[in-house]
């Protein structure tokens, strides 16, 4: 029973069926196919605005290429210290931007706050030749701590960014989980709240390998096609990326899958939080649970066959997914109860 990541599970049946269907016959290449056009129209409808959409295969490519548009080589990108772009992308944003610098900031439960951001920007050295120049803000939604920014929280941060002439990117690898938690319109936490470009994730939530870079400001998208090609992410058979995204968006599949993942995380968190000696490091708002527990309990769960990440110290990370079985969640809780001496 594997709770290590939402990347360890397979693809949703609807996505696999769409891939098989897309393999029939011949279609124009390099994104000139009807499926790719339909995905753009579907996303425009979903976000209630005109958008420019570029499918790519990975979240790192989506983030790094999007940030390269917003940031010159001498620019700075402000991010949370736990952000995926900062910790887990092997310098890809710096590479794709030609050398831009990521400036990590602290924040409780994986979130940036406007006061910290404003203070950093006030000290940022805009116009000072010896400093990198503030250029962009990137927000992670849902965060790496499993929390979710509200529309007002996003807007408060983008207001600070705008006051300092920064563009705003959102890493939405778990965007569906955030929308499912908030029960809001996707527009409410993106362009209506001041976001310029979104990395719209699907891989973690039922796709095989598909993300979309969505520009809400079409002028910003002018160079992206060339950046994507140079980076090796212009697929010749683009319809196979688009088929995944099309299935993902059809009949609200993306939201149903995320709602299930969130519900399984909430079930897991409630069961663990009720145990003596166990606590939650952060509120559980998406599909990640960070639990603090005694070492003997952690070791006992590992011996029992459960898989998860040891995060730091006495904290472990548990991730649920679109197909997590409730019986697996209940088995984890029951085993933890037994290790806590509860019968």
CATH number at residue 142: 3.40.640.10
Same domain, residue pair 279 and 208? no
- CB 137, CB 168: distance < 8 Å: yes
- Three-class SS of residue 250? helix
Same domain, residue pair 325 and 274? yes
Is residue 315 packed enough to be buried (19+ CB in 10 Å), middle (13-18) or exposed (0-12)? middle
In this predicted structure, the answer to whether residue 140 has a pLDDT above a threshold of 70 is yes
pLDDT at 342: 86
Mean residue pLDDT across the chain: 98
d(CA 118, CA 140): 18
We report the CATH number of the domain holding residue 315 as 3.90.1150.10
pTM above 0.95, yes or no: yes
**188: Cβ–Cβ under 8 A, 6 or more apart, which residues?**
151, 182
The band of 225, judged by pLDDT with boundaries at 50, 70 and 90, is very high
Which residue bears the tokens 């990198």? 132
The band of 211, judged by pLDDT with boundaries at 50, 70 and 90, is very high
**66 located within any domain:** yes
**1 located within any domain:** no
**5 located within any domain:** no
d(CA 236, CA 22): 14
d(CA 216, CA 187): 10
Among 225, 251, 277, which residue terminates a domain? 251
- Total domain count for the chain? 2
- Across-strand partners of 333? none
Same domain, residue pair 87 and 168? yes
Same domain, residue pair 161 and 230? yes
pLDDT at 104: 98
pLDDT at 343: 66
pLDDT in tens, 36-67: 999 999 999 999 999 999 999 999 999 999 99
pLDDT in tens, 263-318: 999 999 999 999 999 999 999 999 999 999 999 999 999 999 999 999 988 999 99
Per the structure block, which two tokens stand in for 315?
């904290």
Same domain, residue pair 121 and 164? yes
Same domain, residue pair 110 and 189? yes
Sheet holding 75-80, edge to edge: 52-56, 211-215, 197-201, 167-172, 133-140, 75-80, 101-105
pLDDT at 49: 98
Q: Which domain holds residue 57?
A: 13-251
């Amino acid at each position: 029973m594997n709770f290590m990541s939402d990347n360890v599970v397979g693809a949703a049946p609807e996505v696999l069926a769409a891939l098989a269907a897309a393999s029939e016959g011949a279609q124009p290449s390099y994104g000139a196919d009807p499926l790719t056009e339909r995905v753009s129209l579907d996303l425009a409808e979903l976000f209630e605005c005109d958008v420019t959409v570029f499918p790519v295969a990975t979240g790192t490519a989506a983030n790094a290429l999007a940030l390269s548009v917003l940031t010159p080589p001498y620019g700075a990108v402000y991010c949370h210290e736990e952000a995926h772009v900062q910790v887990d992308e092997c310098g890809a944003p710096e590479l794709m931007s030609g050398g831009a610098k990521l400036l990590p900031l602290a924040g409780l439960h994986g979130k940036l706050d406007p006061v910290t951001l404003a203070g950093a920007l006030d000290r940022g050295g805009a116009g000072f030749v010896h400093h990198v120049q503030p250029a962009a803000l990137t927000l992670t939604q849902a965060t790496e701590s499993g929390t979710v920014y509200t529309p007002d929280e996003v807007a408060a941060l983008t207001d600070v960014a705008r006051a300092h002439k920064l563009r705003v990117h959102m890493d939405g690898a778990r965007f569906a989980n955030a929308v499912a938690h908030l029960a809001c319109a996707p527009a409410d936490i993106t362009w209506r709240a001041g976001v310029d470009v979104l990395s719209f994730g699907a891989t973690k939530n039922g796709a095989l390998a598909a993300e979309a870079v969505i520009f809400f400001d079409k002028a910003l998208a002018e160079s992206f096609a060339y950046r994507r090609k140079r980076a090796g992410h212009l697929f010749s058979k683009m319809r196979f990326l688009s088929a995944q995204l099309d299935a993902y968006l059809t009949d609200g599949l993306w939201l149903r899958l995320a709602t299930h993942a969130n519900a399984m995380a909430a079930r897991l968190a409630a069961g663990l939080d009720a145990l003596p000696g166990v606590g939650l490091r952060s509120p559980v708002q998406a599909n990640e649970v960070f639990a603090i527990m005694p070492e003997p309990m952690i070791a006992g769960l590992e011996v029992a066959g459960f898989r998860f990440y040891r995060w730091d110290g006495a904290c472990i990370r548990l991730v649920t997914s679109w197909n997590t079985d409730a019986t697996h969640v209940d088995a984890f809780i029951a085993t933890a109860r037994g290790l806590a001496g509860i019968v």
